[in-house]
Amino acid sequence: MMNLTKENIQFIDTYLEQSDVKHIDIRMEMVDHVASEIENRIDAGDTRDFYYVFKDYMLEHKSFLLENNNRFLRQTTKKLSNQLLKSFFSIKSITLLAVFTAIIYFGFNNYDSELMKNVLLISMIFLIIAPAICYFFALKKFNYNRFSGIERLGFFFSFLLQFINIVNITGANFIKNQNHLLITSIVMALVFTFILVFIRLSVLTFKDYKYRYNNLC
Amino acid sequence: MSNSKLYKGSLNTIILKLLNEHDKMYGYEITQKVKALTKGELKITEGALYPALHKLEAEGLLDVEVAKVDNRLRKYYKLTETGTKETVNKLEELAEYIKTMQALVNPKLV
């Protein structure tokens, strides 16, 4: 059985990377598939140089491979969304939401609202920095290889930041009204719960990738 | 895949069945195994196989293992506990379907 050389494999990998298959967890499978098919063709009697066999294969199958890349990304986003929603609507999270609401409501009733607002804002900033630090260490751990699931977390992270931004802008005047304290507390508690659920999902995703792709660490 | 419309609905069952018979398999190996078992009648394209594998993985029916083989990384798929149970269900469903079709298409044989 003929095996392609390291240089041949690197050539396929670079070609796919330049064709916009950026994530290594998707690309490695495509590289293996293309390499296996080329080896099979050469074993079956194709005497041409690797480059010509590769070119023929790509002419026939490139569109399939790129479509596969897009489908994989959609699948990853769907998987993460389901995990996030499942985790957010779990009994644990609902309990956490109730506890946060009670603590924040108690805080607004017993302390200066400006002080409370600052404490909440600093806590939020601290909590949203945590996933960014996680991402930095994950990148380092994986030798700066890009993984689809880890990068897709960024999509949810952007959503989280936008949500916090909206709460911050619209809530500034709303918070001053004593009649709105309960609603304000619930919204704040929702943000905190969502951040914690997101952090948990990020850590689980990192651990999952580390377990599966240990060869790349 | 030849006769794609007829086979499309059975692709997941085919994958699960193969993985049930082997400890672990990689994508290309699955395509070759199906081709060999069906004497070339059924050819699973990468455009159909990988989305199906990734969907089964996302549903928790398959687990993934990466190993370095022949100068490259290879992604192996294997059944999870849920996947093994689901394989039994899917095979029963398929057997029932074949029986029903047989009754419709060729009642004398039933």
SS3 B76: strand
* Interchain contact A33–B (C-beta under 8 A): yes
Rg for chain B, CA atoms, rounded:
15
Name which of B12, B49, B54 to mutate to probe chain A: the one with the most chain A Cβ atoms within 10 A of its Cβ: B54
Same domain, A51 and A110: no
Residue A7: pLDDT band with limits 50, 70, 90: very high
Identify the CA nearest to A201 among candidates A137, A118, A131, A128: A131
B52 or A114, higher pLDDT? B52
SS3 A182: helix
**What's the pLDDT score for residue A8?**
95
Instruction: Give the contacts of B10 (CB within 8 A, at least 6 positions apart).
Output: B94
A82 domain residue, yes or no: no
* Residues in B touching A17 (Cβ below 8 Å): none
Query: What is the domain count for chain B?
Result: 1
Instruction: Report CA-CA distances (Å) from A7 to A4, A13, A35, A87, B90.
Output: 8, 10, 12, 44, 43
Q: If you average pLDDT over residues A107-111, what whole number do you get?
A: 84
Residue range of the domain that includes A45: 6-76
Name which of A30, A32, A58, A63 to mutate to probe chain B: the one with the most chain B Cβ atoms within 10 A of its Cβ: A32
**What's the pLDDT score for residue B17?**
94
* Residues in A touching B78 (Cβ below 8 Å): none
**What's the pLDDT score for residue A86?**
92
**What's the pLDDT score for residue B83?**
94
A70: nearest CA partner in chain B:
B51
Of B51, B73, B75, the CB nearest to A68: B51
Same domain, A56 and A102: no
A104 or A174, higher pLDDT? A104
Residue A122: pLDDT band with limits 50, 70, 90: confident
Orientation of helix B46-58 relative to helix A50-88, angle to 10°: 30
SS3 B73: strand
Question: In this prediction, does ipTM exceed 0.90?
Answer: no
* Residues in B touching A142 (Cβ below 8 Å): none
Same domain, A36 and A133: no
**In this prediction, what percent of chain A has a pLDDT beyond 90?**
33
Edge-to-edge strand order for the sheet containing B25-26?
Answer: B25-26, B72-79, B62-69
Contact B64, B13 (CB under 8 A): no
A111 domain residue, yes or no: yes
Identify the CA nearest to A197 among candidates A105, A117, A82, A107: A82
Of A61, A65, A213, the CB nearest to B66: A213
Q: If you average pLDDT over residues A145-161, what whole number do you get?
A: 82
Smallest CA–CA distance, residue A41 to chain B, in Å, is 13
**What's the pLDDT score for residue A175?**
66
**What's the pLDDT score for residue A41?**
94
A94 domain residue, yes or no: yes
Residue range of the domain that includes B89: 4-109
Of A28, A37, A71, the CB nearest to B28: A37
Q: What is the CATH number of the domain that holds B8?
A: 1.10.10.10
Contact A180, A75 (CB under 8 A): no
Quote the tokens at residue A209.
Answer: 């990738």
Query: What is the domain count for chain A?
Result: 2
- Among the residue ranges A71-85, A162-176, B7-21, B45-59, the one predicted with the least confidence is A162-176
Q: Give the helix/strand (H/E) hosting B63.
A: strand B62-69
pLDDT tens digit string along B10-56? Answer: 899 999 999 999 989 999 999 999 999 988 888 888 888 998 998 99
User: Which residues make beta-bridge pairs with B64?
Assistant: B77
**What's the pLDDT score for residue A59?**
93
Query: Is A31–B50 a contact, with Cβ atoms under 8 angstroms apart?
Result: no
Q: If you average pLDDT over residues A163-179, what whole number do you get?
A: 72
Instruction: Report CA-CA distances (Å) from A74 to A117, A169, B50.
Output: 38, 32, 13
**What's the pLDDT score for residue A157?**
81
Query: Is B66–A214 a contact, with Cβ atoms under 8 angstroms apart?
Result: yes
- Whether B3 has a pLDDT exceeding 60, the answer reads no
